[in-house]
A = this chain, B = another copy of it.
């Protein structure tokens, strides 16, 4: 089994009530890959400019993350994002964003990645997600993330993409917008009608919900984390833990999807405990398994 992720690599500056992390490593591909690497090898795809101060080979040292798909694009610049979280960590303000390389053509999928069986298309323009997906030959399970701006401005592209993927991972506000339905149970059903066989709705502090076309459902609260320092990357880490476990399990039946969502939840709880990747780089698979057991225990009655 092989897991391909396409997404962003960013230079982030993040302010939360717990401090400031200046020019730290971020981006959806990075969080996703770090999270997934606890479970399975990862094929990484993304573009940076020559200005990127991070050596990704060093960042992922000791982890099975294939960087063949990392393109350093001369004449371009790395994606930058600066954001500030409010006191309650619920609201996030973007102070500035420099798309840079993300506004250009997407990277090409390397020949040796094209047989990937599991693919995660992190959030970007749906036409680009489609372009990336079309370079993969006969994947078994494709999941994608999206966001409000594409639902609003690129709905036709998104609808075409939805017909081609197996699983949409989306947050609650976006699910409501995409389905034009406030009730999340009904929204999930409407999204399933748009193409994917599985929809996962992330509700932040309130956990997540999984629905499939056969009427099966799974609802999981968030891990009761006492330490939350920086929520950046929670969603991408969730997706990384989720996809990583599925590849490790080698199957996508509903029982496996449930366990995968639980792993995603737990991995995200480590991410938010510290700035940038520090919450993930300081733990072992044993820590993740321990927290999964705790989550199982505190949700069972």
Scan A235-275; emit 1 where CB is below 8 A from any B CB, else 0.
00000000000000000000100110110000000000000
Interface pair B220/A301, CB less than 8 Å apart:
yes
Q: Is A138 an interface residue (CB 8 A)?
A: no
Tell whether A83 is near chain B: CB-to-CB under 8 Å.
Answer: no
> A214 contacts the other chain (Cβ, under 8 Å)?
no
Closest B residue to A184 using CB positions: B224
- A114 interface contact, C-beta 8 A: no
Instruction: Give the segment of A62-70, A120-128, A159-167, A202-210 that binds chain B.
Output: A202-210
Please, which residues of chain B bring their CB within 8 A of the CB of A87? Answer: 182
Q: How many residues of A contact B (CB 8 A)?
A: 32
Instruction: Say whether, besides A218-B298, A258-B301, A298-B217, A207 and B209 are in contact (CB < 8 Å).
Output: no
- Write out the residue numbers on chain B whose beta carbons fall within 8 Å of the beta carbon of A258: 301
List the B side residues contacting A299 at CB < 8 Å.
Answer: 218-220, 299-300
A226 nearest in chain B by CB position: B185
Copies of the protein in its oligomer: 2
Smallest CB gap from A221: residue in B: B219
- Quick one: which of B183, B206, B218 contacts A206, CB cutoff 8 A? B206
Instruction: Please name all residues of chain B whose beta carbon is closer than 8 Å to the beta carbon of A298 when the two chains form the complex.
Output: 217-219
Per-position 1/0 for A181-220, Cβ under 8 A of B: 0111110000000000000000101110100000001111
Complex contacts, A73 vs chain B, CB 8 Å = none
**Cross-chain pairs A/B with CB under 8 angstroms, 15 sampled:** A87-B182, A89-B182, A183-B226, A185-B224, A185-B225, A203-B206, A206-B221, A209-B221, A209-B224, A217-B224, A219-B224, A219-B299, A255-B301, A258-B301, A262-B301
Task: State whether B182 touches A207 (Cβ < 8 A).
Answer: no
Q: Quick check: is A88 within 8 A (CB to CB) of the other chain?
A: yes
> Which A-B residue pairs are the 8 nearest by beta carbons?
A206-B206, A258-B301, A219-B221, A185-B226, A217-B298, A185-B224, A262-B301, A219-B298
Interface: A228 (CB within 8 A): yes
Which residues 88-102 of A sit at the B interface, judged by CB distance below 8 A? 88-89
A218, B89: Cα distance in complex, Å: 23
Does A296 sit at the interface, judged by CB under 8 A?
yes
CA–CA, A89 and B176, complex, Å: 14
Closest chain B CB from A52 CB (angstroms): 34
Chain A stretch 148-191: residues in CB contact (< 8 A) with chain B: 182-186
B301 touches A228 (CB 8 A): no
Question: Which of B182, B207, B262 is in CB contact (< 8 Å) with A221?
Answer: B207
In the complex with contacts A206-B206, A301-B262, A182-B88 CB distance below 8 A: yes
**Nearest chain B CB to A205's CB is how many angstroms away?**
7
A226 touches B301 (CB 8 A): no
Q: Which residue of B lies closest to A88 (CB)?
A: B182
